[in-house]
Chain A
Amino acid sequence: MSAEAHGHMEIPFTVHARPDTGLYNGKLGVWLFLASEVMLFGALFSSLILIRTGSTTPWPEGWKELHVYPAMINTFVLIASSVFVIMAWANLRLRKPKVARMWIAATLLCGFAFMGIKGYEYSLSFAHHHFPKTNNFFAIYFTMTGLHGLHVLGGMVVFAYFLTKGWSMHEHEYQRFTNRIEIVGLYWHFVDLVWIFLFPTLYLL
């Protein structure tokens, strides 16, 4: 309708899948973005391996220097939040937006819990006078968990937006809103996955 009135075409496949690719634009876009994120964290993991194997002094043992139990709790918090965001999407598919909203809120809450526990962990490290400049172990620990924390924060901003200003979209563009939750869910799983690699690599190995 608006296209005819204004004499221009609209971008296709923003909401519905293109038949021959089976994807709508946003979903393909987020997968590509995640591919680049794999390269980003992959480069950091490679750097960790190179610095650790090239170290001339004994590499500090993660479970002695860091705080394993808060980090383990955080692992479960993030895994739970990954389930919650799926519940949100599933309930949207079942046309139960109110239930879905609760699950989005639960996911956001997990994000807060993760960041709170992470902050507590950082403060414990600082109290022991462990800083990024202390040695390369702490340097890579703070860099990688810090960058991961920024990713968690980014996801939380998006969830907060969907709970508040972005929520009204489900009233007039239901499918598009459902897609948005699917896309942020994919991102959130990735952030979760990075942590699942970070936890054993830094804390347990």
Chain B
Amino acid sequence: MAQKRQVRVGSQWMYARDAEKALSEALRVMKEEEGHHESFITKYVFSQDHKWIGVQYGVTALCFLLFGFFLMIMMRLQLGWPGEPFWVIKMFFHGDGKLLPEQYNQLGAMHGTIMVFLAIVPLAVGAFGNYVVPLQIGAPDMAFPKLNMASYWCYLPGGLVMLASMFLLQTKGGAAQSGWTSYPPLSDIASQGQTWWLVGMIFLITSSLLGSVNFIVTIIQLRAKGMTWDRLPFFVWAQFVTSFLLLLAFPPLEAAGVLQLMDRVAGTSFFLPSGLVVSGEVLKNAGGGNPLLWQHLFWFLAHPEVYVLILPAMGIVAEIIANNTRKSLWGYRSMVGASIFLGFMSFIVWAHHMFMTGMGQALSAFFQTTTMIISIPSVIILSALFITLWGGSIRFNVPMLFALAFLPMFGIGGLTGLPLGLATTDIHLHDTYYVIGHFHYVVAPGTIFAMFAGIYYWFPKVTGRMLNEKLGKLHFWSSFVFINGIFMPMFYQGLAGVSRRLYDGGIQYAHAKEAASATNPFMSACAVGLFLSQLPFIYNFFTSIKWGERVGANPWQANTLEWVATTSPPLGHGNFTTVPVVYRGPYDYSLPGSADDYLPQTTPEPGTVAAPVIAPAPVVA
């Protein structure tokens, strides 16, 4: 019987049939891995390595960030000097260089959409989350590498659809013009660009769904041995809560998007009330719909989205502050508890965006109460970060400067939100520049500064080289001055009653004329200054990839696994040569009695024997 014949494999005798099976299996695995490792397409384009996907997300998001900012420059030129022709506007819209009202509306809608959905969330979650989370928890990759790849490849087409609507449709009414909030009934009857916006959004929502499932599973399942929940770096906690927000808040917007798409494509009336008059004629549709329904569904996403923007930023800032004060985070457990509470609360505050819609006193009272409550966890986190600074010997390097600036900037953004969250004061302030100033302080000198902090901090991990310190400081100080020059006057404008979304910045209104014309040129000049301030960063970024100062694995003398358990840049697939084992929390800095002022998470407690180095085998339990 040929099948029963035995052969020797290594030191073992086995049946020939089994040996053949094992051999073909080994060949199959090897083939699969070769494909994995060697093809340019699978390595750089359709990569399944979380680190490279993180880089893809980061670079794409930075491009969108710059483009979204450029759109705002065109708007700011118009606001500062209404009706004047400008060369950039001429280049972009091929007109006479004067911005038209409908073009202004396009720029406004696309600026908001691009900044929120294509720039900051992908940067905060897609780039930093993807690159850093698996490394910080000691995982070889994300739990689902293929889903991770699919997530990026849903994000990019979504972004391209948005861009295409801007460049291809200028003769057909242009891109979406109904603001990033796309309120019906205007958005229902807007030109074709709005349909493209909806299609783009459905891609982006799919991308974020795939990403958030992946993050949650990775953090729950792939933590290395000893990486208990109370030893997770705060950044990982922030990403964990963020992923839950993305997972549960985005689907209602998807539902809303489907309904609006039906309204626009299939002629339904979900958001169109009966008897709507458009251009002097009654709209011929079934009617009976409710425009407020869109606002409820939209803000059910978009308020948690605010915390999606801010939580990863807080995570980054916490890491950098602990590292550069050489102190343990003050109140780590309170911060974690606060972020979880923040996540829960963010689902029941959405209608504070709708105080002025006539939804009723009872609802307003409820939502203003929850809104006041949700400010508490933010204050806890911010206070904990401030107290961490107390008595530390602070290293003022570039990431730390950005992280330090985040604290007061986010503080201004948060505190100016309180009058908006109270239904009474909101009557005066709603839809003015005060609102714009408020949320830009949270997101621009808040979150974007934290993103820059993260880029300067983790750049040596990704490339093995430092960003230039002098150019970094130039970038920081000029950005810091100009960004305040843009947003601080907005509070004054808003209090003076200058409405947002005005094509000429408000000069046609008697009550707003003085405040608008006194400040708008200065703010617009600051916007141009801020744009120029990014040039040192762009130059620094590209030259440092090639010529930056080479550094070792742990240039910041940090404790977390991404610095102490792998090289800079980390290994390809798998991240670590040996499975890291975690013995302590992430912030053991300046412990009395220890030789160094930092103790990596992989250092065993004194008196215990380090676990033997585990061979790089799968850690199947």
List chain A positions with a Cβ less than 8 A from chain B: 1-13, 15-19, 21, 23, 25, 28-29, 32-33, 35-37, 39-44, 47, 50-51, 54-57, 131-136, 139-140, 142-143, 147, 172
Contact = CB atoms under 8 A, between A and B. Distances in A.
Interface string B291-307: 00100110010000000
B262 interface: yes
Nearest to B222: A12
Minimum-distance CB pairs A-B, first 5: A8-B574, A133-B267, A139-B268, A43-B252, A43-B255
B216 A12 contact: no
Interface in B175-217: 209, 212-214, 216-217
Nearest to B618: A10
B221 A36 contact: no
B267 A29 contact: no
Interface stretch (B282-290, B385-393, B500-508): B282-290
Contact of A56 (B288, B293, B618): B288
A8 B222 CA distance: 15
A10 B290 contact: no
A50 B290 contact: yes
Contact of A32 (B37, B247, B296, B579): B247
B25 interface: yes
B252 A9 contact: no
Given A12-B619, A43-B251, A51-B290, A56 B258 contact: no
A40 B252 contact: yes
B140 A11 contact: yes
B434 interface: no
Given A19-B621, A56-B288, A47 B143 contact: no
B14 interface: no
B274 interface: yes
A35 B620 contact: no
Kindly name the residue among B29, B37, B221, B266 whose own CB sees the greatest number of chain A CB atoms within 10 A: B221
18 contacts: A1-B26, A4-B617, A6-B33, A7-B616, A11-B143, A11-B145, A12-B140, A12-B222, A16-B621, A18-B221, A21-B221, A25-B144, A29-B217, A36-B251, A39-B251, A41-B255, A47-B259, A133-B268
Contacts, number: 177
A51 B248 CA distance: 23
Nearest to A172: B25
Given A7-B577, A28-B221, A39-B252, A51 B288 contact: yes
Contacts of B300: 43
B615 interface: yes
Contacts of B579: 9
B253 to A, nearest CB: 8
B269 interface: yes
B266 A35 contact: no
A54 B213 contact: no
B268 A132 contact: yes
A29 B213 contact: yes
Given A16-B621, A57-B288, A36 B247 contact: yes
A50 B214 CA distance: 33
A2 B221 CA distance: 22
Kindly name the residue among A9, A36, A132 whose own CB sees the greatest number of chain B CB atoms within 10 A: A9
A32 B213 contact: yes
A33 B209 contact: yes
Given A8-B572, A132-B266, 7 more contacts: A9-B617, A12-B618, A25-B222, A36-B247, A43-B255, A43-B256, A132-B262
A42 B618 CA distance: 40
A47 B217 contact: no
Interface string B15-33: 0000001000110011001
B584 to A, nearest CB: 19
Given A29-B144, A36-B251, A43-B300, A3 B618 contact: yes
Interface residues of B, number: 65
Contacts of B616: 3-4, 7-9
Contact of B143 (A5, A29, A57, A132): A29
B575 A28 contact: no
A182 to B, nearest CB: 16
Nearest to A57: B288
A139 to B, nearest CB: 4
B319 interface: no
B312 to A, nearest CB: 19
A198 B575 CA distance: 47
Contacts of B617: 3-4, 9
A172 to B, nearest CB: 6
A5 B617 CA distance: 10
Contacts of A6: 33, 37, 573
Nearest to B147: A29
Contacts of A18: 221, 621
B220 interface: yes
B426 interface: no
A13 B248 contact: no
Given A7-B577, A29-B143, A51-B288, A136 B222 contact: no
B487 interface: no
B482 interface: no
B304 to A, nearest CB: 11
B256 to A, nearest CB: 7
Contacts of A135: 269, 286, 288
Contacts of B143: 11, 13, 25, 29
Contacts of B288: 51, 55-57, 135-136
B620 A16 contact: yes
A50 B256 CA distance: 13
Given A36-B209, A132-B267, A133-B286, A23 B26 contact: no
B270 interface: yes
Nearest to A30: B213
Contacts of B147: 29
Nearest to B573: A8
Kindly name the residue among A1, A17, A39, A41 whose own CB sees the greatest number of chain B CB atoms within 10 A: A39
Interface string B549-572: 000000000000000000000011
Kindly name the residue among B140, B258, B288 whose own CB sees the greatest number of chain A CB atoms within 10 A: B288
